[in-house]
Amino acid sequence: MGWCLDDPDEEAELARVINYILPEIRDNMKIRKQFMNQEHALQKHDLVELEKGSFRSDATIYLTDKSKDMILGENKEMFTRTKMTTNKQFQIIKAQDIIEKRLFYSEEEQKEIDFIVDVLQPENYKNMMQRLRDEGLPQGLCVLFFGEAGTSKTMLSYMIAKKTGRDILNFQVSEAKSMFYGESQKLVKKAFNFYREMVEKSSLEPFILLNEADSILSKRKSDGVNQGVLQTENAIQTIILNEMETLKGIMIATTNLQNHFDDSFYRRFLIKKKFEKPNYEVRKQIWADKLPWLESNDLETLSKYEITGAIIENQGMELRDYFAAKAMQGLLASDVYAPKDKFAENAYAMADAMLEARK
């Protein structure tokens, strides 16, 4: 089996490639050793990359972007871009396709968010990167959104992209982790390689968004963990650490479990934003936006419950529920006796009648 350029984005097993080219065992082992020790001329000239597996025979080899440029030229995109964007673990989201959604935060949180949006405005970001270049510092920006679940961290990332005109490469890292050993690492590398292509081809640096980043950026484990899983997690973490060090672009990571983050990752985020559960006033705004027909006393009652915006969004009452609740209050206050399930049944029957009368 040869190394076929019908699909140059795919990797090939190192042993099979060398066996095909050099069937003589002595020459075969000599070349394989050079590759395993990162000493081959193709590696030194950044034309191929080697990814070691759990055994020497598991090593895979693939073409770098440099070699694909040399071989395929302007046709390179035909082989890489279409295929990679159809991968279920990551997808491109265009800024113009993002539907604007109003999010609600406390005054203090809104100021912090406005600062992040301001930093990521094209001209401000360009100036900041120039200052980093002048000081010899890495020219990438890593942002961490962490805190309570259901506080719209991912949605905020989308809204920031919308406001700053930046596309998103959305990478589902938790799905990558669940793949077989070797496949997970390849997918992570593919995502970042593709992101580099996006940066090169875009007038504005896009985001690479790592959702639920704690699933792979958590503190490294050693005890009580399957060795295959441990090896995969450590390999992925090493890849992402290296990518963060050399990043030229913008990475946003979201997590509900910031305390589980490995310190080596946490300190590499230049901007860190913590999200708390919404306070009473914010909850009131969210309820009013979700259910604008609520009466003021009901709005105040609902806002007393300490829940997040996502719960309100996903589990908020519909108009039918609101009418049924009002009917239930009247039924319970009456002298009529009935089993509780009958009260509920009658309340929704009355709600349906009220909805019908509105037509």
- Express each pLDDT in 88-97 by its tens digit: 567 889 999 9
- At residue 165, the pLDDT reads 95
Higher pLDDT, 231 or 165: 165
3-state secondary structure of 171: strand
User: What pLDDT, in 10s, does the model give residues 190-212?
Assistant: 889 889 989 998 999 999 999 88
Closest CA to 213 of 265, 276, 248, 283: 265
Residue 226 confidence class, pLDDT cut points 50, 70, 90 = low
Give the number of other Cβ atoms within 10 Å of residue 123's Cβ.
7
Give per-residue pLDDT as tens, 318-355: 657 767 777 776 766 666 555 656 767 887 888 788 77
- pLDDT for 314 equals 57
Number of residues written out for the chain: 359
The three-state secondary structure class of 71 is helix
The C-alpha atoms of residue 345 and residue 116 are separated, in whole angstroms, by 50
Mean pLDDT of the chain: 77
Q: pLDDT over 90 for what percent of the chain?
A: 24
Closest CA to 184 of 216, 211, 214, 208: 216
Q: Which residue has the higher pLDDT, 342 or 126?
A: 126
Contact residues for 142 (Cβ-Cβ < 8 A; gap 6+):
244, 247, 250, 251, 253, 268, 269, 270, 271
Give the DSSP H or E segment for 320.
helix 319-333
Predicted local confidence at residue 352, as pLDDT: 82
Is the per-residue pLDDT at 5 higher than 60?
Answer: no
Type and span of the H or E element at 207: strand 207-210
What pLDDT does 272 receive? 92
In this prediction, residue 45 carries a pLDDT of: 83
At 24, list the tokens. 């003589």
| Pair 79, 9: CB distance under 8 Å | yes
Average pLDDT over residues 233-260: 85
Q: Where are the domains of the chain?
A: 12-73, 87-275, 280-358
Which band of pLDDT confidence, cut at 50, 70 and 90, is reported for residue 223? low
3-state secondary structure of 261: strand
**Which CATH number applies to 87-275?**
3.40.50.300
CA distance 115 to 105: 14
Confidence of residue 17 (pLDDT cuts 50, 70, 90): low
The region of weakest confidence among 51-55, 215-219, 292-296 is 51-55
Q: What is the pLDDT of residue 290?
A: 81
